[in-house]
Chains A and B, each alone.
Chain A
Amino acid sequence: MTDSVAADTVAPQRTSAGGHGPRRVVSPARRRRKTLTAYLFLAPFLVLFTMFVLAPAVFGLWISVTDWSPFRDVQHFVGLQNYVDLFTAGTTTSGDFWQSMGATAIFVVASVPFLVVVPLFVAILLNQKIRAASAFRTVFFAPYVLGVAVVGLIWGYVLDTQSGVLNHLLHGIGIQSDIPWTVDVPWVWVSLVGVTVWWTSGLNTVIFLAGLKGINTELYEAAALDGAGAVRSFRNVTLPGLRPVTLFITTTTVLASANMFGQAYLLTTGGPGNATRTAIMYIADQGLSQNNMAPAAAMSYVLFAFLAVVSVVNFRLQRERVEKGGTR
């Protein structure tokens, strides 16, 4: 936002220096020509943006207030019926939808702490004066560039109950060796969280690392002069210094976990039963496989509303904490 202000203040200077003498006022004809040029530059993007972002956002909302079916020629407006159904116990979709929302919530609650704390820990290690820090960083980030299908294939076999490497290894060191990693609760959650940590931790790690590098080293020196040890300087310098980065990471990670799809689709296929069927999985299945498009569109907007609330709450909490921290 500050950038757009900067652009606004720069642009008039440029027009006055634009080879048309010292004229300050831009003539209407010239302004019209400039607007035309700008829209010519924007046109290719705006065509795509209108067709595949703006139109579907509105179209989706429309679908959600109709009885849309691909097998019918005429769709009827049904008002908020699809939404009411979702919030009414005993309708065809509400039970399964809320179960999938529950599964999504379990995954968010179980995964986000690990996806924030593990990368923070690794980033702090990498921020020490060590050799090969960049090599370690490369290794930790590498899984993130793999597609979820590859991740699913690898871990599908590592975690296989009968012939998986993990159970083999556990057996080798004398531990029970038939843990149903991908077929029974609670192990499915352990697996989904573990695989997600393996796959995406590198992203949050490099972001934390950049945040750590941004903390003024003089603050550490001042803390050391005050006699603060490692723990106290971590609490009083590192954590406050990382607050904005932690806010960013927590919010993006909550949203990413709430949008989880591939891991469960590939590793547990939503099972056992529908225990790990996430909201995205259920919406995609209802909308695109079961042709239940209108309720599915309504579900996607309900999920959107939840995620919007999460973001707002997160930012509020963080702002409060910053204000309290300021008065301390």
Chain B
Amino acid sequence: MSATAIAVRRPRSGRRIAAKTVLYVVLGVLALAIVLPLLWMLLTSFKTDADAIRNPYSPPSPVSLDAYRTLASGQQPILLWLWNSLAAATVQTVLILVTASMGAYALARMEFAGKKIIFGLIISTLLVPPVVFLIPNYLIVQNLGWLDTILAITVPGAAGAFGIFFLRQFFVGLPVEIEEAARIDGAGDIRIFLQVVLPLARPALATLAVLSFLNNWNDFLWPVYVLLSPEHMTLQPGLSMLQGAYRTHFAIVMAAAVIASVPVLVLFGIAQRQIVDSVTGAAVKG
């Protein structure tokens, strides 16, 4: 056995280098397929309209800020949309962190009547496709007078089951001894939650915050229908409106795409590990 292993080692190393080369080439081509459209978006955004049409895939010459200037001063208030998106994503994230962490702690650590029913209800709604809530929630939001306000795109979305489910899993995994020690020291439920559990849960809270922020920032269908006036729009419905308004202005549309994607790409750069770990966690644990 070992003799044959030694015998094949030499030709194998040559083959291995060839295999590695093929591997890197394939990965490189795939990575290029991902990056090129993004790079093209960035380059085009720094072109003049004429340059963008004449030389679609050469670097901008000269580098022009026309597109960004037009957007900043144009009829489409994209900076306002950027602000609205930031505000909505932040408000919803805070709302989710507060309500989900409190609720998840009760579900993870407290004994009370109706716990199983409540937990079962929350979990079962994870299986319901969002479209089922679309029309009734629209009517509810309309009756509350929330159409075309930031409340419509922050509050209903904070009621989802994901956050409370995610944090409950984390709280269940925390060693209970730390809380017991605090209780022996005379701390009540609220103090234990605020001063012991939440600090320990900081990584999970950060992950949930990033996911919630991304989720709200990128939400499309709901804001398209509940936001009506240009000044109340967020970037996602705004961009689809802008696409119509600047049909043939490549540079302007790509500049808008850059403005909408830079915040999330930066956030992804910072919180990459949390994002990737949390999306894989659900699958691999199961």
List chain A positions with a Cβ less than 8 A from chain B: 3-4, 6-8, 10-15, 17-19, 31, 34-35, 37-39, 41-42, 44-46, 48-49, 51-57, 59-60, 63, 122, 125-126, 128, 130, 136-143, 145-150, 152-158, 163, 165, 168-169, 198, 202-203, 206-207, 209-211, 214, 244-245, 248-249, 255, 258-259, 261-262, 265-266, 279-280, 283-284, 287-289, 293, 296-297, 300-301, 303-304, 307-308, 311
Contact = CB atoms under 8 A, between A and B. Distances in A.
A165 B56 contact: yes
A259 B57 CA distance: 34
B64 to A, nearest CB: 17
B115 interface: yes
Contacts of A140: 30-31, 34
B129 A198 contact: no
A45 B138 contact: no
B34 A139 contact: yes
Nearest to A18: B183
Given A165-B57, A207-B283, A259-B131, A149 B235 contact: yes
Which 10 pairs of residues, A with B, have the shortest CB-CB distance?
A: A45-B103, A56-B136, A147-B218, A38-B112, A41-B106, A48-B159, A210-B280, A35-B112, A52-B159, A38-B110
A42 B103 contact: yes
B35, B129, B130, B219, most chain A CB atoms within 10 A: B129
Given A41-B110, A56-B137, A198-B34, A157 B159 contact: no
B87 interface: no
A141 B275 CA distance: 10
A63 B99 contact: no
A116 B279 CA distance: 16
A7 B171 CA distance: 10
B134 A300 contact: yes
Contact of A154 (B95, B109, B257): B257
B135 A41 contact: no
A12 B121 CA distance: 24
Contacts of A12: 111
Nearest to B188: A37
A265 B223 CA distance: 14
Contact of B260 (A149, A202, A255, A297): A149
Contacts of B140: 51-52, 55-56, 59
Nearest to B189: A37
A288 B184 CA distance: 56
A45 B102 contact: yes
Contact of B240 (A55, A145, A214, A265): A265
Contacts of A206: 276, 279-280
A312 to B, nearest CB: 11
B57 A168 contact: yes
B112 to A, nearest CB: 4
B100 interface: yes
Given A38-B115, A154-B41, A149 B236 contact: yes
Interface in B145-198: 155-156, 158-161, 164, 168-169, 172, 176, 179-180, 183-184, 186, 189, 193
Contact of B221 (A49, A153, A284): A284
A293 B137 CA distance: 12
Dominant secondary structure at the A interface? helix
Contact of B225 (A142, A244, A284): A284
B133 A57 contact: yes
Contact of A300 (B56, B131, B254, B267): B131
A128 B23 contact: yes
B135 A125 contact: no
Contact of B30 (A14, A55, A122): A122
B38 interface: yes
A243 to B, nearest CB: 12
Given A53-B160, A130-B23, A154-B37, A7 B108 contact: yes
16 contacts: A18-B180, A35-B113, A37-B106, A38-B111, A44-B98, A45-B159, A49-B122, A54-B125, A57-B128, A148-B220, A148-B236, A149-B220, A150-B261, A248-B282, A266-B243, A280-B221
B99 to A, nearest CB: 4
Nearest to B225: A288
Contacts of A45: 99-100, 102-103, 159, 164
Nearest to B223: A149
Contact of A44 (B53, B102, B110, B279): B102
Contacts of B68: none
A136 B27 contact: yes
Contacts of B138: 287-288
Contacts of B119: 4
Contacts of A296: 135
Which residue of B115, B135, B138 has the most chain A CB atoms within 10 A of its CB atom?
A: B135
Given A38-B110, A130-B20, A150-B257, A283 B103 contact: no
Nearest to B271: A145
Given A34-B110, A44-B103, A136-B31, A300 B237 contact: no
Nearest to A230: B19
B179 to A, nearest CB: 8
A318 B55 CA distance: 52
A17 B180 contact: yes
A6 B164 CA distance: 18
Interface in B234-286: 235-237, 239-240, 243, 248, 250, 253-254, 256-257, 260-261, 264-265, 267-268, 272, 275-276, 279-280, 282-284, 286
